[in-house]
Structure 1
Amino acid sequence: MWNIPNRHRNDPQINQSLVRLPQPCVRDSEVNRSQLVFNSDPTMQKLLKRTAQAQRQAGRRAKKMHRRDEFDTRRRNNQYLKIANDEIRQNLKDSRRARKEDWEMGPLAPKRDLGFNGYGTFRENLRQDWTNNGMNPIDPKVLEQRCAWAGGVKQLCLAPQDRVVILDGPDKGKVDRIQSVNKLNGSVTLENHHKALFQTWLDGKHHAQAMPISVGSIRLVYPITNPKTGITKDTIINEIKPIPANMESDNMSLDRWEYGNKWDRLVLGINVSIPWPEVQAPKFDTYDIDTTRDKVEARTFFYNLLSPPMPNVIIDELRNKYSKFRTRHDPEYIAMKELQERMKKGNPAVLKSMQTPLEEFHEKQRELKEARGEPELSEEMLTKLGEIIAKTKATSLEDAGITPLPTEPAEKTPEKTVDAP
Structure 2
Amino acid sequence: MQKVIKRTVLAERQAARRLKRRTEKNTRDNNRSAREQRNYVRGDETDHLKQARLNRREDYELGPLAPRRDVGDWTDKWGTINSMRARGQELHPRDREKIWEPWGGKFLNIVVGDRVVIIEGRDKGKIGVIKDVSRERAEVTVGGLNLIDVTIPEYMIGPDEQDKRPIRTMEKPVSVKSIRLVVPLTDADSGVTRDVIVKKVIAAGMWFDKHAGTATWSRIIPGLDIKIPWPKKESVEDKDEPNDTLRIDVETKTFVPTLLTPPMPGTVIDELRNKFSVFRTRHDPEYIAAKEEEDRLKEEKKRTSKQMRTPLKEANRLERKAKKALGKGKLTEEMLEKIGKLVAEKRQLALEAAGVSKEGAVSEEPVTATA
TM-score by length of 1: 0.54
Pair 1:175–1:344, CA change in 2 (3 A):
closer
Structure 2 matches for 1:71-82, cutoff 5 A? 71-82=28-39
In the aligned structure 2, how far is the partner of 1:141 from the partner of 1:333? 57
Equivalent residue, structure 2, for 1:308? 262
The residue aligned with 2:23 is 66
> Alignment partner of 2:95: what SS?
coil
Inter-CA distance 92–305: structure 2 relative to 1 (3 Å threshold): farther
Match of 1:263 in 2: 218
Q: 2:172 aligns with which of 197, 211, 217?
A: 211
Matches within 5 A, 1:86-97: 86-97=43-54
Higher mean C-alpha displacement, 234-243 vs 204-213: 234-243
**What is the Cα deviation at residue 279 of structure 1?**
1.5
Whole-Å Cα distance in 1 between the matches of residues 292 and 192 of structure 2?
93
Note closer, same or farther for the CA distance 1:60–1:260 as it changes in structure 2 (3 Å cut).
closer
- Give the secondary-structure state (helix, strand or coil) at the position aligned to 2:150: strand
**Paired AA for residue 320 in structure 1:** N
Give the corresponding residue for 2:84: 125
Judging changes above 3 Å, is the alpha-carbon distance between structure 1 residues 282 and 93 closer, same or farther for their aligned structure 2 residues? farther
Return the offset for 1:106.
2.9
Looking at structure 1, the residues matched to 43 and 192 of structure 2 have their Cα atoms a distance apart, in angstroms, of: 52
Kindly indicate whether the alpha-carbon contact (under 8 Å) linking 1:155 and 1:242 is maintained by their aligned counterparts in 2.
Answer: no
- Does structure 2 retain, via aligned residues, the 8 Å contact 1:176–1:192? yes
CA gap of 1:294–1:135, structure 2 versus 1, over 3 A, is: farther
Residue from 91, 94, 98 that aligns with 1:141: 98
Q: Structure 2 matches for 1:71-220, cutoff 5 A?
A: 71-114=28-71, 116=75, 118-125=77-84, 127-131=86-90, 138-144=95-101, 148=102, 151-154=103-106, 156-202=108-154, 205-220=166-181
Over residues 245-284 of structure 1, what are the superposed CA-to-partner deviations in whole Å (9 max), with x where a residue is unaligned?
A: 8xxxxxxxxxxxxx99742544866x76554432113455
Q: CA deviation at 1:160?
A: 3.3
Query: Partners in 1 of 2:136 and 2:28 — Cα distance?
Result: 22
Kept in 1, the 8 Å contact 2:80–2:148? The answer is yes
**Structure 1 match to 2:272:** 318
Q: Deviations over 1:193-214 (max 9, x none)?
A: 2122222232581212221212
Q: Determine the C-alpha separation between the residues in 1 that align with 2:148 and 2:21.
A: 42
Distance 2:148 2:186 in 1: 37
8 Å Cα contact 2:99-2:176 kept in structure 1? no
Corresponding residue for residue 11 of structure 2: 54
Q: Secondary structure at the match of 2:278?
A: coil
Letter in 1 for 2:278: K
Post-superposition Cα deviations, 1:353-406, rounded to whole Å, max 9, x if no partner, equal: xxxxxxxxxxxxxxxxxxxxxxxxxxxxxxxxxxxxxxxxxxxxxxxxxxxxxx
Decide whether aligned partners of structure 1 residues 320 and 97 sit closer, same or farther in structure 2, where only a CA change above 3 A counts. same
Q: Partners in 1 of 2:114 and 2:67 — Cα distance?
A: 42
Unaligned runs of 5+ in 2: 157-165, 206-213, 300-371
Would you say the 8 A contact 1:243–1:265 is kept in 2? yes
**TM-score of the two chains, using structure 2 as the length reference:** 0.60
Letter in 1 for 2:168: H
Alpha-carbon offset, residue 226 of structure 1: 5.6
Indicate conservation of the 8 Å contact 2:96/2:138, yes or no. no
Q: Percent identity?
A: 37
| Aligned-partner SS, 2:62 | helix
1:129 offset after TM fit, Å?
Answer: 3.6
Q: In 2, distance between residues paired with 1:137 and 1:282?
A: 37
RMSD of the TM alignment (CA)? 4.2
| Distance in 2 separating the partners of 1:313 and 1:94 | 72
User: Would the alpha carbon gap of residues 167 and 327 (structure 1) be closer, same or farther in structure 2, given more than 3 Å must change?
Assistant: closer
Deviation digits for residues 27-73 of structure 1, max 9, x if unmatched?
xxxxxxxxxxxxxxxxx233223323333332332222222222222
CA distance in 1, matches of 2:215, 2:60: 53
1:325 maps to amino acid: F
- Structure 1 position 327 matched with structure 2 position 284: no
Contact persistence 1:195–1:211 (CA under 8 A): yes
Does the CA-based 8 Å contact 1:165-1:221 persist in structure 2?
yes
**CA distance, structure 1, for counterparts of residue 289 and residue 85 of structure 2:** 62
- Residue identity opposite 2:65 in structure 1: L
Report the count of equivalent residues.
281
Matches of residues 267-416 of structure 1 in structure 2 within 5 Å?
A: 274-284=228-238, 286-287=240-241, 290=244, 306-334=260-288
1:181 alignment partner, SS class? strand
**Rounded Cα–Cα distance in structure 2 between residues aligned with 1:53 and 1:302:** 43
1:320 shift after superposition: 1.3
Would the aligned equivalents of 1:264 and 1:274 in 2 still touch at CA under 8 Å?
A: yes
